[in-house]
Structure 1
Amino acid sequence: MIDILICDAHLYLDQDWEIPGGWIAIEKNRIHSVGGPQQSPPQAGRVINAGGRLVTPGLVNAHHHMYQNLTRSYAPATRLRLFAWLQALYPLWAGLDADSVYVSTYIAMIELLLGGCTTSMDHMYIHPRPRLIDEQFRAARDIGMRFYATRGSMTRAQADGGLPPSDLVQDEDTILSDCERLVSAFHDPAPGAMGRVALGPVSMFSASERIMRESLTMAERLDLRLHTHLGEDMEEDDFCLSMYNCTPTEQFERMGWASPRTWVAHYIYPSPSEVTRMAKAGISVVQCPSSNMMIGGGSADALDMRERGIKVGLGCNGSATTDHASMWMETRNAMLLGRVSHGPAAMGAREALDMATRGGAACLGWDDEIGHLRPGACADLVIWHANEVALAGAITDPVEAWLRCGPAVAGTSIVNGRVLVENCQPTMTALKDMLREHAQQARRIQKIA
């Protein structure tokens, strides 16, 4: 018997495949079958009536820094450019420990689930204490989130021309040893995995050439994906010109990172020829609309990159820049940015939704199983909810209404065949205790008595 049957739904299953008034059946942790109103659904142990609401694949967050929700809206940093913003917050993040990383990850994942995200990566590049990513995997297991950890790293301190203080950088051997340990302990390359690991030196201005090159070597040896920030700020261009006598993209290419196993965050400031070269190399790009607008540094031209053949996903980025972790918000802002840059005919809700699903899954090298709801896909989906007043009059196109109206939240979120959000509320009973602990940790990190 089928485990869960969702009926009376407008199904957005994949690019160019929608079923109005349809049903979708889940067996164990996979999509079993789908059908329209003229087809009889199978019997199921549980039936969820979507009430005509939109059902989509779970959104995929392809770039995040979960620990940063401990320093959201930190007043001294709210009006700073990227480099100054980082230098203002690095001393606070030096206080991270196992408890604060666990609770910040837990709260981040709950917030992501409520915003329609079912798979999230996290780029954890601050390691003032050992084994912090282990705590992230513990939080993911406790919640049931599909999680792709990226072992970030910094080696170049301020004294060496980088941005972080010396107590937040690590030597290359320590980093590489911990990468090997994490991959052995947590990386699951099997189909339907709930946890995977990628390698992610944070950026070329805070990571040495050696760690970039040796991370590439390890990734090729262990068949891992690679991730970093690239082209996020014009100051990065100045740094690479002075340090390497070339642009960030040129240095990226010199180190061998321009390959299909790599996805990069932001990529706001490449030249047209560099975008063309990156497309030919097969890299993927994550646009982070809200963060880029909040920090005032522009945003990647996602439409242009997609037209050139680059797979583009969406990311929330650090909670301290966006001050939220809603993939619905990121998807809406991606649509709006595309329309502002290229006109109203250039982009609608479906193009933005494709970036938030298939695009994000492609960044993670996982678009065979997540980012769509074709039979056989992982059972990760969202039944969307919005206030009836906000949707009044929106009766011709539920996908467009989903982004143009709203705000929308996850009414029901299912990950790996398990209901994790129901009636717009997370099913985790420990949430209140976690919020209290998070408040205590945030006060400690921000040095507020």
Structure 2
Amino acid sequence: MSRIVIVGGYVATVDAAGAEHDGGHVIVDDGVITAVGAGRADAAARAGAEVINASGCLVTPGLVNTHHHLYQWLTRGYAQDSILFDWLTSLYPLWSQIDAGLTGAGAAGAMAVLARSGCTTVGDHHYIFPRGSGDIVGAIVEAASSIGVRLHATRGSMDLGRSQGGLPPDFAVETTDAALAASQTAVERYHDASFGSLVRVAIAPCSPFSVTADLLREAAVLARSLGVRLHTHASETVEEDAYCLERFHMSPTEYLGSLGWLGDDVWMAHGVHLDEPAIARYAATGTGVAHCPSSNARLAAGIAPVRALLDAGVAVGLGVDGAASNESGQLGVEIRESVLMNRLRTGSDSMSVRDALRVATMGGARVLGRQAEIGSLEPGKLADIAVWKIDGVEHAGILDPVAALGLGALPPLKRLLVGGRTVVSDATLVTAEEGLVAERVARASRELAERL
């Protein structure tokens, strides 16, 4: 039996009771948590185990990223002062040159940074598949394996080009039938529904302004026949609201609901412009939301009504979103951003640091349908664990260890475990050579720019 014992840290379990243990312990056997509690664990439990001394550390569940576009790691810094629609139209020509090799390099770089910021589960939304670009989903799966994180890949798609009234140029879209067939292939090839799986796949047409009603409707039927989840962008900007009202005479929520896109197997990215009736429909149907505060600020989209969503019982997780609209690429910093942004929207008591930590962990697990496996430190759950060092110059003496993460600078990681496997140690990625990952990213970014 392979045993790891984490001792001496401030353990924030994020369980249903919100239990916390100052100087507590976590015991892991063969990649699964078997005990959590106060004190350093007895000598018998520590005998023969790898003991991680977490004194001066905050111990939390690994963070769950519910929305990203990993390929965009190669296109950071473009269209710096644009709103969403202008930003998209300026970048579509560049993205249409992507292929599996470039995507794999960008995905590895993005996931390396995610891991170094405490993320153990990565949700990716890839929706551009140029003709002849190879197995892009496979490249993302391979990159996740090389970094060592848990992956929720989504096979996205676009079939509504500009000539049909959509936003993307015609050369960047697929046919409806091709998108559906490729989505089914990706699920059949890579989705693993077993407990503890490292790869799951969802079906994810891109957005109401880049996808036909036929593709949305048929994708929902296909996903449910295959037993996988559904994901798309929704209610991100006022321009999207106006587009849906003009084209469909409905709000985004009404439109998506009419096509079978509300349910406990669906999560939406952003949800910035959800009104009270829409929030009520999300709550009644179990539809989840990926909250992406930094990206929404970068594109001036607004601040999602997270407090109202949580109060209604909606599952809300955190997302980085594409690194072309959030160049940091770090999930850990989004905890602080969520606290600050939501206080700007609804007041200083609207989002506590513990609320935000729960959104980043258990909330994300609920959004992805994995609340029985990840998201909290409890016996029987996977050992996806972040050990944050908070005794350095940035945090030493802080009154509340959780505030070090939720209000302070992002702490360095002493250890990050995914299923009990060490991915980050002493703030350094150990599963891949960081310098080589960076070199591949720089080379791929140059090549992509040259292709255009």
If the length of structure 1 is used for normalisation, what is the TM-score? 0.96
Whole-Å separation in 1 of the counterparts to 2:441 and 2:40: 49
**Structure 1, 384-393 or 57-66: larger mean CA deviation:** 384-393
- 1:338-349 maps to which residues of 2 (within 5 A)? 338-349=342-353
**2:358 is the counterpart of 1:357:** no
- Offset at 1:331? 0.8
Q: Which residue of 1 aligns with 2:22?
A: 20
- Offset at 1:409? 2.9
Whole-Å separation in 1 of the counterparts to 2:20 and 2:291: 25
* One-letter amino acid of the counterpart of residue 3, structure 1: R
- Offset at 1:435? 1.5
**2:449 is the counterpart of 1:446:** yes
**SS of equivalent residue, structure 2 residue 5:** strand
Select 2:69's aligned residue among 65, 69, 73.
65
Q: Which residue of 2 aligns with 1:405?
A: 408
Identical amino acids, percent of aligned pairs:
37
**2:423 is the counterpart of 1:420:** yes
CA contact (8 A) 2:193 2:200 kept: yes
CA contact (8 A) 1:24 1:35 kept: yes
- Offset at 1:38? 6.8
* One-letter amino acid of the counterpart of residue 31, structure 1: I
CA-based RMSD: 1.5
- 1:127-276 maps to which residues of 2 (within 5 A)? 127-128=129-130, 129-276=133-280
* One-letter amino acid of the counterpart of residue 64, structure 1: H
Q: Which residue of 2 aligns with 1:120?
A: 122
CA contact (8 A) 2:34 2:379 kept: yes
Deviations 1:41-83 (A, max 9, x none): 5024311101231000000000000110101112xx1111100
Deviations 1:78-106 (A, max 9, x none): 11110010000011111111211111111
Whole-Å separation in 2 of the counterparts to 1:270 and 1:350: 24
Whole-Å separation in 1 of the counterparts to 2:7 and 2:228: 38
Whole-Å separation in 2 of the counterparts to 1:448 and 1:165: 17
Select 1:336's aligned residue among 336, 340, 344.
340
Shift in CA distance, 429/248, structure 1 to aligned 2, threshold 3 Å: closer
Whole-Å separation in 1 of the counterparts to 2:190 and 2:432: 26
Equivalences, count: 446
CA contact (8 A) 1:64 1:121 kept: yes
**SS of equivalent residue, structure 2 residue 201:** strand
- 1:384-395 maps to which residues of 2 (within 5 A)? 384-386=388-390, 388-394=392-398
Select 1:284's aligned residue among 285, 288, 294.
288
Shift in CA distance, 292/44, structure 1 to aligned 2, threshold 3 Å: farther
Structure 1 segments (4+ residues) deviating >6 Å: none
CA contact (8 A) 2:97 2:451 kept: no
CA contact (8 A) 1:4 1:44 kept: no
- Offset at 1:345? 2.3
Deviations 1:155-185 (A, max 9, x none): 0111111111222100111111111111111
Shift in CA distance, 360/325, structure 1 to aligned 2, threshold 3 Å: same
- Offset at 1:321? 0.3
**2:372 is the counterpart of 1:368:** yes
CA contact (8 A) 2:56 2:391 kept: no
**SS of equivalent residue, structure 1 residue 232:** coil
**Unaligned residue ranges in structure 2 (runs of 5+):** none
**2:88 is the counterpart of 1:86:** yes
Deviations 1:404-423 (A, max 9, x none): 22232322110011001001
CA contact (8 A) 2:390 2:404 kept: no
**Unaligned residue ranges in structure 1 (runs of 5+):** none
Shift in CA distance, 338/44, structure 1 to aligned 2, threshold 3 Å: farther
